[in-house]
Structure 1
Amino acid sequence: MQDSVVLKGLLALAALACGLALAAGFFGAEAHPFDSASHFRFQLALVLLVLALLALGLRAWGTLAVSLGFAALGLAFSLPWLLPREARPPAAGQPGYTLLQMNLLYDAPDKAEALRRIGEARPDIVTVQEVTYEWQDLFQNLSESYPFQAYCGLENERDGVAILSRRPFVGEALCQARNGRVTQLVDLNGRTLAVTSLHLDWPWPKHHWKQIDDMGVSLRREGGPSLLGGDFNAAPWSASVRAVADAGGWRIVRGIGPSWLTVRFSQIWPRWLGLPIDQLLVSPEVLVDQVETLARTSSDHLPVLLRFSLLPARPAPTQSVAEPATAAFEGLETRPGAGGA
C-alpha cells in the first residue's frame, strides 16, 4: 500500500514537471529559456502519454487527467507541423523548381554520401551549412552541374554556409559570417529569387537569439520572391523560428518532420522521435508544391527537398538602370569574392 502511494506521488511529480516544461514553451517570446523548452514539445507530449498510461494502471485519476491534458495541448501545437503535407502540381503555367537543404556535418566521415544525394536529387539550388574549406574543394568538383557557388564564413572552421545553383547568380553574394548567413539573388527564367542559407547556433544559453537580434530587419527583401533554407537548431513552432519568419516576411513551411538525429539515436529509436530543426521559410510569392526528407547521409541531419513554383510576376515599378542588383538588401556586409564558380 505504501509503495503504491510513493509511486503515485513520483508519477504525479513527473507529470507536473513535464507539463510545466511543455507549458513554459508557449512563452518563449517573453523568456528565451522557455523557448529552449519549446523545441521538445512533441517529445514531452509523448512522455506525458506514457505517464498517463502508468497513471491509469495505478488508478491515479488526478495524474491521469493532468497528463492527458498537457499531452493534448502539446500534440495540438506540434503534430500539424510534423505531419506530411499533400503534394500539389506547380501553379498553372508556371515552371517548377527544386531546392535541397542540407546540414553537411563539418567532419562527416563519408563526405561522398552528401555529394551522391545532390546527384540523385539534382536540385536547381542547394543551401548547405557547416561548410569547411574541404567541403568547398569537393563542391568545386560539381562545377559543371553547379557552376554558380557562393560561400560565407568558411574561416570559422565549422560554421560556413553556402549556396550552390544551376541557375545564374545576379550580383554579388551578401555575407553575414558572424550570423551564419549568406544571401544570393538567383535568376529563375527571368524571375529573381533571393535565396538565403542560414545556420543558427544552439538555443539559449548559446548565441541563438543574439544572431536573430543582430540580423533584425536586414532579413527582409522588398519587392520580390525569397526563400530561406537552414539549420535553425529550433523547432518550427518555436518563438525563435517565428521571429526570423516575421523579420523576413516569410511563412514557415510545414510537413518537414523530424530532421535531426545522432547516429546512435537513429539506430535505437524510430526516426520520428528526432527533432525538427531544419527549416524552410518562403515569401508569399513562393508556392510550396511538395516537401520531403531524403535518405540520410553521414550527417546527423536529414536532407530536405523542396519543390516549389512562383506566383506570376506583378508589373514592377520603374527602376533606375543604375540601381545595383543587391540594393534590395540593406544592413548586410558585402564581401568581395563571396560568390564564384
Structure 2
Amino acid sequence: MRVRYLALATLLFSGVAIGSIAASVAAPSDDCDDSCLTLYQKNLMSKAWPRYSLAEDIIESNAQIVTLQEVSSHNRKYMSNLFEHYPEKAICEFRPEQNVAILTTLPIVENSEFCLQGYGLVGLQVKAPGGDLVWVVSVHLNWPFPYDQSRQSQVIADRISQLEGPVLIAGDFNMVPWGESVRRIGAAANNQSFGTVLNTHNLGSWKIPLPIDNLLFPKGTTGTVELRPFMGSDHLGKLARFRLG
C-alpha cells in the first residue's frame, strides 16, 4: 500500500506542472461534419457496476472506434450488447481480468492486428470512410515510479515506431500528457496530445486534475473532445470527433 501511495504522489506531483505545458497540447476546433471519425476512449474498471448504462452510452455515441482498458469477464458478461454491436474487435491480455481492447465498425486490414501480451498494448489497422488506412492502438500503462511504467512505455513506443502511416493512440496512461511516458509514446508516432487538459480520474479535481486518459493523434488533427460520465468506472470517458490533418 505504501508503494501505491508513492506512485500516486509521483503522479500528483506531475499534475501540479499543468501551467508549464499548456502550449504543448493541441486544442480542438469545432469544424467536424459527417466526414469526421469518432473515437470513444474508456477504462471500464474491471469489476464496476452498473454496466448497462455505460454500454448504451458507447453504442449511442455512434463511435466508429472504441478503445477500452480493464476488459474483464465481468464486463464481457454484463456488457455483451456492446461487444456484439461492434463486428470487429481485438483483445489483448494485460493483467489478470484487465485486458486492453479495440472495437470498431470500420473494416479491418487483413492480418494487421497485433498484441503485446503483458505490456498493455493492442493495435490494428482500419480503412477510414475516405479510403485512408489508419492504425489504432489501445494502451494501458502501469502506475509510475516505483512501478515499471518507464520501461513499459519504451517497449510500447518501440512497437508503435514500426507502424507506417497515421496512428491513433488512446488509453489509460496513468500519467499526465506532459509526462515522459506519454511524450515518449506520442513521439514514436510523431503525434501530440489532442484535447484540452481536463481531469479524467475520480481522485482528481478541477483544483488538482489528473488527466491520465489521453488521446495522442497525428499533428494537424482537428475536432472536438467531450468528457463522458463515470457510469460505474473510476475513469471518465472521452468521446472525440475529429478529422486527420
Q: Equivalents in 1 of 2:78, 2:110: separation in Å? A: 24
Verify: 1:88 aligned to 2:8, yes or no. no
The whole-number CA distance in structure 1 between the counterparts of 2:173 and 2:212 is 6
Instruction: Letter of the 1:171 partner, please give it.
Output: E
Question: Which structure shows the higher strand fraction?
Answer: 2
After superposition, the C-alpha distances for 1:287-326 in whole angstroms (9 at most, x for unaligned) are 1301121122110100011111134xxxxxxxxxxxxxxx
How many angstroms apart in 1 are the aligned matches of 2:62 and 2:207? 26
The question of 1:292 aligning with 2:229 is answered no
* Cα 1:85–1:132 shift into 2, 3 Å: same
- What aligned pairs does 1:103-118 form with structure 2 within 5 A after superposition? 103-118=43-58
Q: Match for residue 308 of structure 1?
A: 242
| C-alpha deviation, 1:247, in angstroms | 2.1
Cα distance in 2, alignment partners of residues 223 and 100 from structure 1: 23
What is the TM-score with the length of structure 1 in the denominator?
0.62
Please give the alpha-carbon distance, in whole angstroms, between the structure 2 residues aligned to 1:143 and 1:202.
28
1:231/1:278 contact within 8 Å kept:
yes
* Bigger helix share: 1
Contact residue 217 and residue 248 of structure 1 kept, 8 A: no
Task: Classify 1:226/1:233 alpha carbon distance in 2 versus 1 (closer, same or farther; 3 Å).
Answer: same
Counterpart of 2:102, as a letter, is I
Aligned twin of 1:76? 19
Check whether the contact 1:161–1:180 (CA below 8 A) recurs between aligned residues. yes
1:210 partnered with 2:151: yes
CA distance in 2, matches of 1:187, 1:89: 22
Shift of 1:119: 2.5
Q: Which has the higher contact order (CA 8 A, sep 6+)?
A: 2
Contact persistence 1:296–1:302 (CA under 8 A): yes
Distance in structure 1 (CA, Å) of the matches to 2:24 and 2:52: 31
- Paired with 2:189 and 2:244, the residues of 1 have a C-alpha distance of 17
Measured after TM superposition, the shift of residue 157 of structure 1 is 2.2
Residue pair 2:120, 2:141 contacting (<8 A) in 1 also? yes
Q: Structure 2 unaligned segments of length 5 or more: list them.
A: 1-5
1:27 aligned residue: none
Which residues in structure 2 correspond to 1:1-341 (within 5 Å)? 37=10, 39-42=12-15, 44=16, 74=17, 76-78=19-21, 85=27, 87-90=29-32, 95-142=35-82, 145-153=85-93, 156-172=95-111, 173-189=113-129, 190-262=131-203, 271=206, 273-284=208-219, 287-311=221-245
Between structure 1 and structure 2, the one with the greater Rg is 1
| 2:188 counterpart SS class | helix
Does the CA-based 8 Å contact 1:170-1:187 persist in structure 2? yes
Deviation at 1:208, TM superposition (A): 0.8
Classify the secondary structure of the residue corresponding to 2:153. Answer: helix
State, as a whole percentage, how many aligned pairs show the same letter: 30
Aligned residues: 238
Question: How far apart, CA to CA, are the structure 2 residues paired with 1:41 and 1:181?
Answer: 23
Question: CA-to-partner distance for each residue in 1:46-81, whole Å, 9 max, x for gaps?
Answer: xxxxxxxxxxxxxxxxxxxxxxxxxxxx45315557
